[in-house]
Structure 1
Amino acid sequence: MNKTTNGPFKTTETIILASGSPRRRELLADLGLDFEVHPSTADEPAPLPDEDATQYAKRMAEMKTLDVATSFTGRTVLGADTIVVLDGQIMGKPADEIDALAKLTSLSGKTHQVITAFCLFLPDGNTTTQAVSTDVDMRASGKEELESYIATGEPMDKAGAYAIQGIGTFLVTAIRGSYTNVVGLPVARVLEELLDTGIIQPRKN
């Protein structure tokens, strides 16, 4: 179990995080929340016909959350899914270095959207699912720069083939919206839901 005592909030019950993302773990730990990590093992299907990017992200977040929630009856489960969208097209994780270069080249010098959807499964069986979108402006990067970045290995397991909180920060010139949403979890929105449901409280001592 991840346990942090220095954050501004505390949990009234331990949250189940249905994600293995180190970035999501860090964001929850920074808040001071107690949580257990139990990643979903569900396959990620392709978008349905006529399903837009936001709908797809929300469906994936719900699928991952409910996949884990079946093993934790009466517990609070939080799952999420982050996608990168360019001109309405979803960009997944690169299949190889060639694909990573193609993705980064297409993003270079353009504005794209990062959409993170999260699903909160509550002990009473109710769920709430929301999605947040952030605009990200990318600098125009040369092929050699992108190849050097790919050689670090960082892009290979990232949607859109970059990590804003990592080495890939040099690719980004500006964002409009939630920064943590691009990292992998819209913290302010998630926080609102957790406070409203009483799952977390401000830490007074």
Structure 2
Amino acid sequence: MSAPPLILASQSPRRKALLELIGVTPDQIIPADIDEAELKGEKPEVYVTRLAREKALHVAGQNPHALVLGSDTAVAVGRRILPKTEDEQSARFCLELLSGRSHRVFSGVAVVKPGGDVMSRVCETRVKVRSLDRSAIDNYIASDEWRGKAGGYAIQGLFAKHIVQLIGSHSNVVGLPLYETYNLLTGAGWSK
């Protein structure tokens, strides 16, 4: 019996590229169109796990014979989840909040097996950002690299020079914790 096709329930080019780094090429990419609003009082690690599961289940509902991978990433300061920045004002707010302090990046990963069984994990990485003066923030805003990024930055780009310390998974901060993802996939029966 052949292995089921693998579907990535995400339109993120970063997630696809990260999977390819470890030799995982999805057979299809089908973004999940779900409501990503936070629930009142929801902790960041619960939020990302819930969204990863909902994305994977949504796509699996239309593809019951596939192995479906869903994921979600959030940047948090305390219990506050920072937005995916779409405008300069929200990017500046995030960068000013992160300046000179540590924050956490959470990713939830979920795999739905054919038949509907769901396996999920959450990954946490601690990141410390150096103090950013107005010039550093203005320069980063001008780069436009922050657009659409959770917390207003991309660690794999220009912002890397502002990272003082990282404890945990670097790929998690980029958008998909590879160790956890690979273990979930192989545990669900995926093989290359």
TM-score, normalized by the shorter chain, greater than 0.5: yes
Structure 1 residues 84 and 73: alpha-carbon distance in aligned structure 2, compared to 1, 3 A threshold: same
Q: Which residue of 2 aligns with 1:28?
A: 19
Q: CA deviation at 1:52?
A: 1.0
Work out the CA distance in 1 between the residues paired with 2:15 and 2:118: 19
* Number of the residue aligned with 1:194: 185
Pick the aligned partner of 2:34 from 42, 50, 69. 42
- Note if contact 1:14-1:34 (Cα within 8 Å) is conserved in structure 2: no
One-letter code aligned to 2:54: M
TM-score scaled by length of structure 2: 0.93
**1:79 counterpart = 2:70:** yes
Q: Which runs of 4+ in 1 moved over 4 A?
A: none
Distance 1:110 1:181, change over 3 A: same
Q: Shift of residue 161 of structure 1?
A: 0.2
TM-score normalised per structure 1: 0.88
Question: In structure 1, what is the Cα distance between the partners aligned to 2:162 and 2:59?
Answer: 35
Which sits farther off after the overlay, 153-162 or 28-37?
28-37
Aligned CA distance change for structure 1 residues 14 and 150 (closer, same or farther; 3 Å): same
Write out aligned runs for 1:156-167 (5 A): 156-167=147-158
Shift of the alpha carbon at 1:48?
1.8
Structure 1 counterpart of 2:22, which letter?
A: L
Structure-2 change in CA distance of 1:149 and 1:37 (3 Å): same
Q: Secondary structure at the match of 1:156?
A: coil
Report deviation, 1:200: 1.7
Alignment: residue pair count: 190
2:100 and 2:169 map into 1 onto residues whose CA distance is 20
Per the alignment, residue 112 of structure 2 pairs with 121
Deviation at residue 49 of structure 1 after TM alignment: 2.3
Gaps in structure 1 of 5+ consecutive residues: 1-10
| Counterpart contact for 2:120–2:184, Cα < 8 Å | no
What is the rounded CA distance, in whole Å, between the counterparts of 1:131 and 1:182 in structure 2? 12
SS in 2 for 1:137: strand
